[in-house]
Chains A and B, each alone.
Chain A
Amino acid sequence: MFLQQLINGLTVGAIYALIALGYTMVYGILEFINFAHGEVYMLGAYLGIIALGLLTQWGVTGWTLAPLLVIVFAMVWAAAWGGTIETVAYRPLRAAPRLSPLISALGVSIFLQNFVMLTQGARDQVFRRELLFSSDFNACGLSLASCTVSYTQLLIIGTALALMTGLTLFINRTKLGRAMRATAQDQRMARLCGVNVDGIIRLTFVIGSALGAAAGVLVALYYGVVNFHIGYVAGLKAFIAAVAGGIGSIPGAMLGGLLLGLAESFGAGYLSSQYKDVYAFVILIVVLLVRPQGILGNKRDKV
């Protein structure tokens, strides 16, 4: 029981962590809650289903690389959406009062939800994972003591870990990553040093959206069904994960996501599954009261 909950929590937590990265990166640079990020994650889940449909049409689902194609397709398209959203809805509002971009983000959110509902239908959409993997892939797995880790769960945790490692390397080791860190620290100074700040901000949205879309595909793979309002709750929880870990901090978002996933899994297992959605908010309120800068956040950001 305990181990099983741990595994389930880690799986969901890895997905939260991927979404939380998008929030924390944008907040780190613009100090702005991108409320539409949850919808981009939802777009990602749908893009995964669409990609799978296209592969079926071409008859290449049995191909070994097919799962990779699905996730890459979703990430690329969602990244394009993310960059476009930034240019259209947020860039003109950089100098505006704090509330303006927030309202604009809510507008984007409403737009995306209804766009997906109109084009894809209001009903649940099925992600036919059996097309990608053999039927026992999801049912079977490794047996550890009294619990089983399904291959799907392993795949999800593995993919999430790979993406997070890639992001960490990108931010810490590459020139663009350094420019991104500089922009987060001090926009004006970064600009003076020759950093293309607008380009970096767009890049932040692009990367964040790609990670969110990956999370969307993984969720579709895990649960098998998606609908057009999954973005709201997941986005909210991921944001809470980002705040709990310390908003603006990338390892913080990862840690926060995992912790939130575990808390939910154990809460649902040992306390009450009805109130599953409440635990996240309880964690949020406790963190904000006890350690407002988050677990790994620095004091710079005064609350």
Chain B
Amino acid sequence: MSRDLKYLIWPLWIAVLVWPFTRLRGALIVLVAAAACSALLFAFKLWKPKIALSAMPRLAGFSGRTKTGLLIALVLFSLALPFALNKYFLDVVVTAGIYVVLALGLNLIVGLAGLLVLGYIAFYAVGAYSYAILSTHFHLNFFWALPVGAALALLAGLLLGLPTLRLRGDYLAIVTLGFGEITRIVLNNWDGLTGGPNGIMHVGRPALGGLNLGTPAHLYYLVLAVITLAAWFTSRLNRSRLGRALVAMREDETAARACGIDTTRLKILAFCLSAAIAGMMGVVFAAKMTFVSPESFTFWESVMVLCMVVLGGMASVPGVILGALALIVLPEAFRGLQHYRMLVFGTAMIAMMIFRPQGLWPSKRRKMEMDEAGASL
């Protein structure tokens, strides 16, 4: 019985914690809300309903025919989408699409190679700024800028990766975070080249010959094409020799090396590929906004992309896509709730890690690993 006492103590404790910030009235409201939650949890515990949270519907594993059917439906749906949405929502969808590709790119290095990178947005910034500068000064065409942005970001990845990739997990995370910050600060202060905090305006929209391809619908199809390509590319990579080598390295670096995998080369390869993808999307972003400024490339953007990968399900292509769409579209849908949505978002991240750490749509391989780990505990 004394263990049940915590259901009573918790709401009181939380109310005491928030009291200095909310004062008495707010604390009482919190107390009532927390008590209600607590009562609900207590009732849950008494009746022990069969639906455990960790056993939520398993999304993967359709039979071959349903899979094809769903795929066709998905293709038709995404092709028809611009006709059904107004300009604003189309814009949100295009942004979500850019993040989908970014998340797929980061997934290569976080999900497959298991290296935690917290400054991913820096490569995105490199791509965006290189297009912005080349477009405003030299009127470089968007389609030429795509490979240029990717190449420059790749170069940045190489520069950062060569000295740092021998560091272990957490340290790598911090160094890449530092790289991201340095990039942002340099962009903010190098007034001559980057326009400082004001950024660069009047970046060219995509155009082919005399044809302007800058409308939201055009951008939508462009992004859709890039997503398809990236998804195809990463899922092929997942099943390739290279992908397997990456996963082997993620699971046990020493064992992988003993099997003859050149881990340093592999890490740099994954890092550069992922940087190039970010650089390319940076170009798309700059063309979409026709404006770049350091504000778009903060640490929180990196965190958002990382969350997409982890919440969606690491190393799972559909999972990562789902995660990216959820994280961009859901806050947009709850815009009416204003700031509360971020509060809920933070809580959801914690809850997700506790109750469903494998992500919304885990990859088969990873799910098996996690179940195995759970069984052996």
Q: How many angstroms between the C-alpha atoms of A110 and B357 in the bound complex? A: 19
Q: Do A33 and B170 form a contact, CB below 8 Å, given A111-B343, A119-B22?
A: yes
A266 to chain B, nearest CB (A): 18
- Looking at A87-95, A146-154, A180-188, the stretch in contact with chain B turns out to be A87-95
Q: Do A111 and B347 form a contact, CB below 8 Å, given A50-B20, A303-B167?
A: yes
Kindly list the 9 A-B residue pairs having the minimum CB-CB distance in the complex, ordered from nearest. Answer: A107-B349, A111-B346, A281-B178, A110-B346, A107-B350, A119-B21, A114-B342, A104-B353, A50-B20
| Contact present for A46 and B21 (CB under 8 Å) | yes
Q: Do A103 and B167 form a contact, CB below 8 Å, given A111-B343, A119-B21?
A: no
Interface residues on B, range: 35 or more
Q: Do A284 and B178 form a contact, CB below 8 Å, given A47-B20, A115-B21?
A: yes
Instruction: Give the residue name and chain of the B residue nearest to A107 (CB).
Output: B349
Instruction: Give the residue of A33, A102, A114 whose beta carbon is less than 8 angstroms from that of B343.
Output: A114
- Looking at A5-13, A60-68, A76-84, A157-165, the stretch in contact with chain B turns out to be A76-84
Residues of A within 8 A of B377 (CB): 95
Residues of A within 8 A of B94 (CB): none
Instruction: Give the residue of B13, B17, B21, B353 whose beta carbon is less than 8 angstroms from that of A107.
Output: B353
Instruction: Give the residue name and chain of the A residue nearest to B369 (CB).
Output: A97
| Contact present for B349 and A104 (CB under 8 Å) | yes
Residue B233 at the chain A interface, CB threshold 8 Å: no
Q: Mark B303-342, 1 if CB is under 8 A from A, else 0.
A: 1001100110010000000000000000000000001101
| Contact present for B339 and A114 (CB under 8 Å) | yes
Residues of B within 8 A of A99 (CB): 110, 116, 310, 314
| Contact present for A118 and B340 (CB under 8 Å) | yes
Residue B181 at the chain A interface, CB threshold 8 Å: yes
| Contact present for A107 and B178 (CB under 8 Å) | no
Instruction: Give the residue name and chain of the A residue nearest to B298 (CB).
Output: A232
A97 to chain B, nearest CB (A): 7
Instruction: Give the residue name and chain of the A residue nearest to B374 (CB).
Output: A95
Residue A175 at the chain B interface, CB threshold 8 Å: no
8 Å CB interface, A155-208 against B:
none
Residues of B within 8 A of A278 (CB): 181-182, 185-186
Instruction: Give the residue of A47, A51, A104, A302 whose beta carbon is less than 8 angstroms from that of B168.
Output: A302
Q: How many angstroms between the C-alpha atoms of A49 and B32 in the bound complex? A: 27
Q: Do A96 and B353 form a contact, CB below 8 Å, given A106-B307, A119-B21, A232-B299?
A: yes
| Contact present for A89 and B17 (CB under 8 Å) | no
Interface of A is mostly: helix
Instruction: Give the residue of B13, B116, B171 whose beta carbon is less than 8 angstroms from that of A288.
Output: B171
Q: Total interface residues on A, using CB and 8 Å? A: 59
Residues of A within 8 A of B354 (CB): 89, 92-93, 104
B180 to chain A, nearest CB (A): 9
Residue A101 at the chain B interface, CB threshold 8 Å: yes
Instruction: Give the residue name and chain of the B residue nearest to A117 (CB).
Output: B339
Residue B189 at the chain A interface, CB threshold 8 Å: yes
Residue B163 at the chain A interface, CB threshold 8 Å: yes
Instruction: Give the residue name and chain of the B residue nearest to A239 (CB).
Output: B174
Q: How many angstroms between the C-alpha atoms of A108 and B347 in the bound complex? A: 7
Instruction: Give the residue name and chain of the A residue nearest to B355 (CB).
Output: A92
Q: List 19 A-B contacts (CB under 8 A).
A: A50-B21, A93-B353, A95-B377, A98-B169, A98-B170, A100-B357, A102-B116, A102-B173, A103-B353, A104-B349, A104-B354, A110-B342, A110-B345, A110-B346, A112-B346, A118-B340, A119-B26, A243-B171, A303-B168
| Contact present for A120 and B21 (CB under 8 Å) | yes
B125 to chain A, nearest CB (A): 15
Residues of B within 8 A of A303 (CB): 167-168, 171
Instruction: Give the residue name and chain of the B residue nearest to A243 (CB).
Output: B174
Residue A109 at the chain B interface, CB threshold 8 Å: yes
Q: How many angstroms between the C-alpha atoms of A31 and B170 in the bound complex? A: 9
Q: How many angstroms between the C-alpha atoms of A99 and B110 in the bound complex? A: 10
Residues of B within 8 A of A73 (CB): 20
**Interface contacts beyond A99-B314, A104-B354: sample of 13 additional A-B pairs, CB < 8 Å, sorted by A:** A33-B174, A51-B20, A80-B16, A95-B377, A99-B310, A106-B303, A110-B346, A114-B339, A120-B21, A239-B174, A284-B174, A285-B175, A288-B167
